[in-house]
Amino acid sequence: MVQVLGVMAHGLKFEDQLGEHGDQLQVETDNERLRKQHQNLLEQELDKSWKRSYKKPWFWCVVAFIVWTFAGIAWYALWHEWGFLLAFYYHLQAGLSIGFGFPTEDDICYKEDIASSTVRYYTEGKFRWPSPAEGGRGGCQAADISKAVTVIFVLVGSSIIASAIGVIAQALTAPAGGWYKTLIAEEKIKHLSQLAAESPGIADDVVIFLKILSLKSWFQALVCITGWVAVGILYGMLSEQQMTFITSFYYSVSSVSTAGLESPKTIQGNPSIPVLIEELNPGHWAFSGIYVLIGVPLYGWALSALASGYVAWVTVEDADNTLHEQITEDEFQIMDYLGYPSAKGAGGDGEIDMFE
């Protein structure tokens, strides 16, 4: 009897354990199912996001720019046998129509250790042009080939930049859902203006005024481009380039505006000594390349935002002036003519009512 009860108790205990394990397995199964559902939903959202991006104009601008950038780097690295960063710098400053003018594509004509037999062939003999001492301009066919390719890069690059600026301008003037975003921003500005009117101190007014400015796209763009110019100034003054403040400012503004009036010099050390272009710290090429890569679009955004803000202000002022100015005799006659006819059935009745 005791043995039977023991077996029964053991059986009940086993069933309890089996039930507990079954519940645990069920929970794990449910968790796995939920995890898979969550993963599937995430993949679907990413797929939708990719498809949405795929249809956006900015997406194709980015793709075209990436292809254009690496095509240029490959060309200058192979034809001129420059390092990656030097090729990166030269392609961007040339393709974005900055034109620092250093280094030059004619340098290949006087390079002594050209590895490529094809390039070397076009720098010698009949393919080398007369030097200035010989009554010519200098250079060679290899440089002319490179210049022809650079012209193509400039045309394509300027088209990409123009398209990108157009996309930026469109996003600023007519953004997706812009009407309610503009409405929200206007309500925030009204609320802040009311707070400024009610605040007793000048310090509070200054803080509120800055908050109002921070809501305006032209102010955001102005802050960004000013900060980026400051980065260029710090580079010029603190790096081995040893520029003065004015020269650094000159370098920064002429870089982002594509004027290209000041380029990095082949000097390094403190005190600085002249070095060959291959010996210059490649960090200078990297910085200048990245600086114009970010700075030129920032400058374009700032110009677009300032123009957009000015047009918006002029439009509001013009509409307000039009609504409050005195109606002219010509306007009166036109509205009267288009409204109710006179008693004789022609022309106007000499009055302008709400209908008219």
**Distance between CA atoms of 281 and 80, rounded to whole angstroms?**
18
pLDDT, residue 225, reads 94
Residue with tokens 């370098």: 251
Residue 274 bridge partners (DSSP): 267
Pick the closest to residue 87 from 74, 105, 104, 99 (CA basis).
Answer: 74
HSE-CB of 336 using CA atoms within 13 angstroms: 14
Query: Which helix (H) or strand (E) segment is 77 a member of?
Result: helix 57-79
pLDDT, residue 74, reads 97
- Read off φ and ψ for residue 276, nearest 5 degrees: -70, 155
- Read off φ and ψ for residue 274, nearest 5 degrees: -70, 140
Q: What is the pLDDT along the chain (356 residues), one digit of tens a residue?
A: 445 445 444 554 545 554 555 556 565 676 677 777 767 766 666 555 555 666 677 788 888 889 999 999 999 999 999 999 999 999 999 988 898 988 999 999 999 889 999 999 999 989 999 989 889 999 999 999 999 999 999 999 888 877 877 776 666 556 566 666 666 777 777 777 777 677 776 776 677 777 777 778 888 889 999 999 999 999 999 999 999 999 999 999 999 999 999 999 998 887 888 888 888 999 999 999 999 999 988 898 888 888 887 887 777 767 767 777 777 777 767 766 666 555 444 555 566 665 55
pLDDT, residue 2, reads 42
Domain at 60-174+216-317, CATH class: mainly alpha
HSE-CB of 21 using CA atoms within 13 angstroms: 6
